[in-house]
Structure 1
Amino acid sequence: MQNKQYHYCNSYFQYLRNKTVPVKAGNITIGGDSPIRIQSMTTTNTLNTEETSEQAKRIADAGGELVRITTQGRREALNLKNIKEVLLAAGYDIPLVADVHFNPSAAETAAELIEKVRINPGNFTGGAKKFRQIETGSAEDKAGMQMIKEKLVPFLHHCKKHNTAIRIGVNHGSLSDRIMSKYGDTPEGMVESCMEYLRICQEENFENIVLSIKASNTRVMVHAVRLLVQRMQNEHMYFPLHLGVTEAGSGEDGRLKSAVGIGALLIDGIGDTIRVSLTEPPENEIPVAQKLVSYVVQKTGHEPVRETNPQHYSPLSYVKRVSEPVLHIGGENPVAVVADIRNADGREINFSEPPELIICKPAQLNLQHKNLAGTLQLVEHKYYNKEKKNGVFPLFRSHDDWHLFHGIAFVEITYPELTERNIKRLREKKDVILILKSGNANSTAEQRAFFMTMQNTGLKHPVIIHGHYDDKRPEDFQIKAAADKGALFLDGYGDGICLSAPFIRIGDVVDTSFGILQASRVRFSKTEFISCPGCGRTLFDLQKTTERIRKETGHLKGLKIAVMGCIVNGIGEMADADYGYVGAGPGKISLFRNRQLIKRNVPEEKAVETLIDLIKSFGDWNEPVE
């Protein structure tokens, strides 16, 4: 049944972890039969031994299993020895990872002192990018490839000598000029950047390798990782994967974006170690990662999902399922948000962004809420009276006689209920909107199989994806719902979302629905903030600055603003951003618009106001509504 053309995981219908080779990093193993490892990164100056080691301790105390430390140059690399000694003396035998950019010499030094070194193919050789076009097969292209070998091979021999693991970590924002000239800023380019290095590693018989391929755009990140796994399998490589969404941001937005991107891959069995990148203290990342991993691995041994032909499934590029609109749901309409208010206290029914549709009890039909004007309403069909009120529609279950109803109907259905009988009914009645539910622990696989079957049978009815969660903590609910449902929206499935969480305030449930759609790149309902977590290269208070920018610009619906600690990945990672605020040096900020530098070295104390002035000058500002 498996479509080999898109074969990147063991099954589309069952949770099974991909088998990878085990890689040792100090006293832990990544990949193989090991559990999914959780890690974070310090944000301190690496030359400050005390601050860096204290932060590493907090990461370890929170449950982190690896600690990454920025390593700009040889001085920082040498100080890793002091940090390691302080940690060991305090009883923390946690593997350290040197994060190296632009400096192969620093990477070699670090390889002698700690357990793992991360290098980025985009800037390990050749220095900073000049954004030049390099013709494929030209002398310059061949010279660039030769330079990679000259720098990488001695480093691999050094790592082999010291039993040091490496991570080949490709970032969407830092592809080399060679790769950009051939592939552009695409998943294909990211994968080839990684594979060039992997092939050299294979030639040198070096296999102590972990891979990562990251982006702040969840769609790019997920497609790139899937493509990398497929490409590795084609070349008989099975190295472990490190997963992460870069510059995910802070608060609820950062958690939702991370859960959507990382969760989509974990659910398909991809991933051996993860990092949730938040613009917050690094120890805050660990519980989020733990909850995400714990939730996904609980899907092991779930109730079987009936397999179907995945011939129309497009996991390597975004292709939205074709549906015919009913009302304003489906077709080219924005993905709808549905609120089930049947269990909500009337005082709770207050939405910062109103949903398109609410599911009500009969007594709630007459409730007037100022932010629900024009919102469509659903009631169970047994209470429905079409003469009663315009904008009200009946809600059926799949076993009801909905096919006999004259008019638009909503039908709750599960994948096992998509029987030949119901398929025949759907073919006969086009004005139906389906609400797709699931009781399977692996609801993602079951609901994905439903969409595949709809495509295989030519059914184009709009489908609202439903999810039920009994969590009492909003963060737990958000992480689970984002992982389950975000994966489906990334795959082009779903015309709407309806989340049921009886122990969470209904306004928060609806906000989470909008947040999942935004994190999945299918509907933007608020300002999109792309902010990195910071590291030792950051020379301003990233967390406070991000919060200030968020406060000042959070009303600019649909605008994308990047806040980046430094220029290492800054220009590239904010490829999707309309405006960028990037650290340029001590007390200096550079401001960008659409990746173009507009103002250089703005004094930090004036930078936020200058950013706002810049947004206003290009006509993208509107005053906040009180």
Structure 2
Amino acid sequence: MSLKLIKWIYSTIPVETSVVHVGNVEVGGSNPVRVQSMTNTATQDTEACVEQAKRIIDAGADYVRLTTQGVKEAENLRNINAELRKQGYLNPLVADVHFTPKVADVAALYAEKVRINPGNYLDAPRTFKQVDYTDEEYAVELQKIRERLVEFLAICKENHTAIRIGVNHGSLSDRIMTRYGDTPEGMVESCMEFLRVCVEQDFSDVVISIKASNTVIMVRTVRLLVDVMEKEGMKFPIHLGVTEAGDGEDGRIKSALGTGTLLADGYGDTIRVSLSEEPELEIPVARKIVDYIAQRADHPYIPGVANDSFNFLSPVKRETTSIRNIGGDNVPVVVAERLDGKFETNDQFMPDYIYAAKSIPATLENGPDYIVDADVWAEEKEKFEAAGKKCWPAFSHNQLYAVGACQAELKFLFIPYMALTDEAVACLKAHPEIVILSQSNHPNRIGEHRALVHQLMNEGLKNPVIFFQHYSENDVENLQVKSAIDMGALILDGLCDGIFLYNQGTLTHAQVDATAFGILQAGRVRTSKTEYISCPGCGRTLFSLQSTIARVKAATSHLKGLKIGIMGCIVNGPGEMADADYGYVGAGRGKISLYKQKECIEKNIPEEEAVDKLIALIKANGDYHEEEK
């Protein structure tokens, strides 16, 4: 493992990137992380686009992106750009292009940056069919792409237009899929094919994005891309985002977890939070993510020693001892507190353990075990048992001397990284029944938590680790964003056996519990509810996205474990929904197609009938049950 990689694990040192000129707002290098959103109005409607762009900019965006599905839309960027400048809005515009290279050529005349998608720039749209290419045929296809891309780059050079090479997991071409499969390696190669042409043509105003709705794939792919670029001497800036993140709590948690993990590792020069809401509502969430990461700048040194067996580019779950339902092959547990005596628990998000500190609460929850401080455990244990409950002792790192005398089969130990002394290591080696509650009040708590687990691995210890995260939030969005960022890397690196969110603000226990379960689901390690993969909408969207999402959720939110895709159009729809159980995709004005995984089941359904037909499809496949009252 390189020294640079160790810095990335324990520090928030940004990875060095080149500066890209995008109109009057540069990105990369030492510039701040730029924030952007995308209009969802028809790009031929100049007035609607201008008004929405103004709202996005007024909310704090650096860039505004607009879809350009045809030449007419690309040409109208001239009018939109001119009207915004006339009204004093100078922020760069970005054109979003799919399927038609000629549209990118035109857009480059009137936008400050043009996004092209390697998956559909020249390759045929994805069909999910196996197509065999010989090496010679593959090389011919690459040459066709090169020749067409060189023409486009020449136009961009002449007009001082930057480009974004934007790879999406949901729109890899059949050509790439045939050679590499639906993998991070395939996504990276799809991007690198285009980057190599840019380097060959000495075109440097390039930003890259490589997105997925699955946070595990998204984070792994960006890490892999940076590694490959570094080996080929490239330092292009990176645009981050979890695509089709959804709306509400889920969209915020998923975006913060994926994007925040990468920013914490030092990756990312510009971000977009893709919410299925009005685009200006994305900006405050994005700003919170960027600002929370920025607080860690110049933080105190963390003397962590990375474990040699840890694979940063393709991490696997750390091997731990199974203690009751914690560690081993168990899903990560949720620990919560009820120290104020209030009980507002949602039965769907019932914690596995409740920390009660010094005494038995007046009211006990149905389901969870309890944790009490070790110095009162012996006397309180009988009270819990009399009430039909189990309770377990929690020691502080100053009570190691008492661990051996305690006969409990499960013990918890609150300990920060800097207290992981030789004495503590010896205690853990002697007591594999201890579950660690890792604490940190460090400005870079991710780094300190990581350091603790790597030290355990270096010592050959397999004690499970639950991450104790402390907050004082009165706004639930703040808690969602901060805790998802703090937990993201720990989950995606395979280090997490549980999560304990302790909030001393005014939020209810139900809100805190829901956030904890939402984080585990966003990290793909524990499912507790229906997951929705829904796009934010754009000028291509062919139906009322927000009202449709609300109707689908109302009918399906009780179906725990299902993944349902709700997509505005076919650009990423079928591809991103390959990870979903069912899909609802815009097929034409007011028309919907329904999918079962990759297979289109029914096409061109009138929008007013589509939600009912989706429910009927779920029922026909045995995946529907009535909501329990």
In structure 2, distance between residues paired with 1:235 and 1:150: 22
Name stretches of at least 5 consecutive residues in structure 1 with no aligned partner: none
Moved more, 522-531 or 485-494: 485-494
* Cα-to-partner distance string for 1:23-52 (whole Å, 9 max, x where unaligned): 010001000110000000000100001101
The correspondence for 1:151, drawn from 108, 123, 148, is 148
The correspondence for 1:354, drawn from 345, 350, 354, is 350
Structure 1 equivalent of residue 461 of structure 2: 459
Whether 1:406 aligns to 2:403 is no
Root-mean-square deviation (Å): 1.4
* Cα-to-partner distance string for 1:399-423 (whole Å, 9 max, x where unaligned): 1024322223111011111111110
Moved more, 401-410 or 457-466: 401-410
SS at match of 1:24: coil
Contact 1:240-1:271 within 8 A present in 2 as well: yes
Q: How does 1:352-501 map to 2 (within 5 A)?
A: 352-368=348-364, 372-385=365-378, 386-390=381-385, 391-400=390-399, 401-404=401-404, 405-407=406-408, 408-501=410-503
Contact 2:123-2:175 within 8 A present in 1 as well: no
Contact 1:412-1:435 within 8 A present in 2 as well: yes
In structure 1, distance between residues paired with 2:6 and 2:48: 41
Structure 2 equivalent of residue 77 of structure 1: 74
In structure 1, distance between residues paired with 2:229 and 2:77: 33
Contact 1:398-1:412 within 8 A present in 2 as well: yes
TM-score (norm 1): 0.97
SS at match of 2:10: coil
Q: How does 1:218-617 map to 2 (within 5 A)?
A: 218-342=215-339, 344-349=340-345, 351-368=347-364, 372-385=365-378, 386-390=381-385, 391-400=390-399, 401-404=401-404, 405-407=406-408, 408-503=410-505, 504-617=507-620
Whether 1:58 aligns to 2:62 is no
* Cα-to-partner distance string for 1:183-219 (whole Å, 9 max, x where unaligned): 1111000000000101111111111100000000000
1:257 shift after superposition:
0.1
In structure 1, distance between residues paired with 2:349 and 2:206: 46
**Residues 607 and 318 of structure 1: CA distance in aligned 2, closer, same or farther (over 3 Å):** farther
Moved more, 127-136 or 540-549: 127-136
Name stretches of at least 5 consecutive residues in structure 2 with no aligned partner: none
Contact 2:435-2:465 within 8 A present in 1 as well: yes
SS at match of 1:185: coil
The correspondence for 2:106, drawn from 109, 118, 129, is 109
1:73 shift after superposition:
1.1
Structure 1 equivalent of residue 65 of structure 2: 68
1:310 shift after superposition:
3.0
SS at match of 1:583: strand
In structure 1, distance between residues paired with 2:377 and 2:616: 53
**Residues 350 and 560 of structure 1: CA distance in aligned 2, closer, same or farther (over 3 Å):** closer
**Residues 19 and 77 of structure 1: CA distance in aligned 2, closer, same or farther (over 3 Å):** same
SS at match of 1:118: strand
Whether 1:215 aligns to 2:184 is no
Structure 1 equivalent of residue 180 of structure 2: 183
TM-score (norm 2): 0.96
- Opposite residue 399 of structure 1, the aligned amino acid is N
Moved more, 37-46 or 414-423: 414-423
1:10 shift after superposition:
4.6
**Residues 302 and 336 of structure 1: CA distance in aligned 2, closer, same or farther (over 3 Å):** same
* Cα-to-partner distance string for 1:34-86 (whole Å, 9 max, x where unaligned): 00000000001000011011100000000001000000111011000000111
SS at match of 2:36: strand
* Cα-to-partner distance string for 1:543-584 (whole Å, 9 max, x where unaligned): 110111011100000100000000111111112100000000
SS at match of 2:44: coil
In structure 1, distance between residues paired with 2:306 and 2:123: 46
Structure 1 equivalent of residue 92 of structure 2: 95
- Opposite residue 353 of structure 1, the aligned amino acid is F
In structure 2, distance between residues paired with 1:377 and 1:227: 42
Contact 1:10-1:18 within 8 A present in 2 as well: no
- After superposing on structure 2, the runs of 4+ consecutive aligned residues of structure 1 that deviate more than 6 Å are none
In structure 2, distance between residues paired with 1:50 and 1:474: 35
Aligned residues: 619
In structure 2, distance between residues paired with 1:189 and 1:49: 38
**Residues 309 and 353 of structure 1: CA distance in aligned 2, closer, same or farther (over 3 Å):** closer
